[in-house]
């Protein structure tokens, strides 16, 4: 299916109906997830603030999936030289950064009542911060190179280097967290999940992923249009 989508015309036709449908699906799933989440009983430890989990955790998942998509698109661009793959990569990065930022901010709000501090250096938040820096680096690199083709390739190489490093970074941060466990006041990985929270979390999770997919399709379409119009403008100017 991916190979079929690589054709720009087919992609544009596909995304035309796929994006709104995914968007609607995302809205439904997120609303359902949040409704269930608010209907669920408050956590015995965290009280009402546990609800932020349904906003924070799926955002972190979406952020990681976004980087995975960035990596796959970059790999496709480097190996198959598809311009569409590069457009998709370029479109995914700011989206990923936004989801990561959302995860960081909501994580901070979630942590405040629980841990008494606006920021804690636990495994998940630190990993998400590292992910945020990876996105920022990618976006900065693309913006700093004037030649679009060179920018695309350089950024693709960086994305792959980041993708390979990502599990290592995650592992090292988790490992670092367990190492300094004795000094922290909270358990690694956050509180264990009561089953009553699983359903809303899963719903919200799928909803966020659908939202990412929808927004990604929209941004990629916009990038394709931008390139087409730039191309036309150049051709008109040099005629």
Partner 1 sequence: MTTAGLLFRRELALAWGGGGGPLMALAFLAAVTAALPLTAGPSPAGLAGVAGGATFVSLALSSLLSLDRLFERDLEDGSLELLALGPLPLEGVAAVKCAAQWTATGAPLALAAPIAAVALGAPILAAPIIAAVSALGGLAFAFVGGAGAAVALASRRGGVLIAVIVLPLLIPPMIFGGAAIWAFTEKLPWTTSFALLAAYSLAALGLAPFAMAAACKNALS
Partner 2 sequence: MITALRLRSVGVRRGERLLFDGLDLDLGGGDAVALVGPNGSGKTSLLRVVAGFIAPLCGAVTFEDGKGPVEPAEARRADCHMVGHQDGLKAGRTAREELRFWSLWTGSDGRGVAAAAERLGVERILDLEVRQLSAGQRRRVALARLIAAPRSLWLLDEALAPLDAACRALFGEIMTGHLQAGGLILAAAHDPLPTPARRLELGA
- Under the binding rule (CB under 8 A), the answer on residue 21 touching partner 2 is no
Cα 34 from chain centroid (whole Å) = 19
Are 74 and 139 contacting, i.e. CB atoms less than 8 angstroms apart? no
Give the range of 48-56, 154-162, 213-221, 226-234 binding partner 1 by CB under 8 A: 154-162
Per this entry, what is the length of the chain?
239
CB contact burial 197-232 (16+ within 10 A = b; e otherwise): beebbebbbbbbbbbbbbbbbbbbbebbeebeeeee
SS3 47: strand
Q: Residues 23 to 62: which contact partner 1 by CB under 8 A?
A: none
Q: Count of residues binding partner 1 (CB under 8 A)?
A: 33
C-alpha 86/C-alpha 155 separation (Å) is: 9
Rule CB under 8 A: choose which of 39, 147, 237, 238 binds partner 1: 147
- At what angle are helices 83-115 and 195-237 packed, to 10 degrees? 140
Rule CB under 8 A: choose which of 3, 39, 168, 237 binds partner 1: 168
- Under the binding rule (CB under 8 A), the answer on residue 234 touching partner 2 is yes
Are 207 and 30 contacting, i.e. CB atoms less than 8 angstroms apart? yes
Residue whose CB is less far from partner 1, 171 or 186: 171
Rule CB under 8 A: choose which of 149, 193, 194, 222 binds partner 2: 149
Are 19 and 221 contacting, i.e. CB atoms less than 8 angstroms apart? yes
Rule CB under 8 A: choose which of 39, 147, 182, 236 binds partner 2: 147
Residue whose CB is less far from partner 2, 53 or 84: 84
Residue whose CB is less far from partner 2, 188 or 234: 234
The contact pattern for partner 1, residues 75-104, with x = CB under 8 A and - = no contact, is ---x--------------------------
The upper half-sphere exposure of residue 58, i.e. CA atoms within 13 Å in the direction of its Cβ, equals: 26
Tell me which residues touch partner 1 (CB under 8 A): 78, 130, 133-134, 136-137, 140-141, 144-147, 149-151, 153-155, 157-158, 160-162, 164-165, 168-169, 171-173, 175-176, 179
């Amino acid at each position: 299916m991916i190979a079929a989508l690589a054709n720009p015309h087919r992609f544009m036709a596909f995304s035309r109906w796929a994006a709104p449908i995914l968007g609607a699906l995302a809205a439904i799933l997120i609303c359902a997830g949040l409704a269930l989440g608010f209907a669920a009983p408050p956590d015995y430890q965290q009280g009402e603030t546990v609800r932020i989990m349904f906003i924070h955790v799926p955002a972190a998942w979406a952020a990681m999936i976004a980087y995975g998509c960035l990596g796959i698109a970059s790999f496709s661009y480097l190996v198959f030289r598809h311009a569409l793959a590069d457009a998709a990569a370029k479109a995914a990065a700011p989206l990923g950064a936004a989801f990561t930022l959302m995860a960081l901010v909501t994580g901070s709000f979630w942590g405040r009542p629980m841990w008494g501090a606006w920021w804690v250096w636990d495994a998940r938040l630190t990993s998400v911060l590292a992910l945020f820096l990876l996105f920022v680096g990618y976006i900065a690199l693309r913006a700093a190179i004037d030649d679009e083709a060179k920018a695309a390739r350089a950024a693709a190489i960086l994305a792959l280097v980041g993708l390979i490093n990502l599990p290592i970074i995650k592992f090292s941060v988790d490992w670092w967290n367990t190492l300094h466990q004795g000094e922290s006041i909270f358990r690694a990985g956050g509180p264990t999940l009561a089953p009553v929270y699983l359903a809303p979390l899963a719903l919200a999770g799928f909803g966020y992923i659908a939202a990412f997919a929808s927004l990604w399709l929209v941004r990629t379409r916009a990038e394709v249009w931008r390139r087409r119009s730039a191309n036309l403008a150049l051709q008109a100017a040099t005629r």
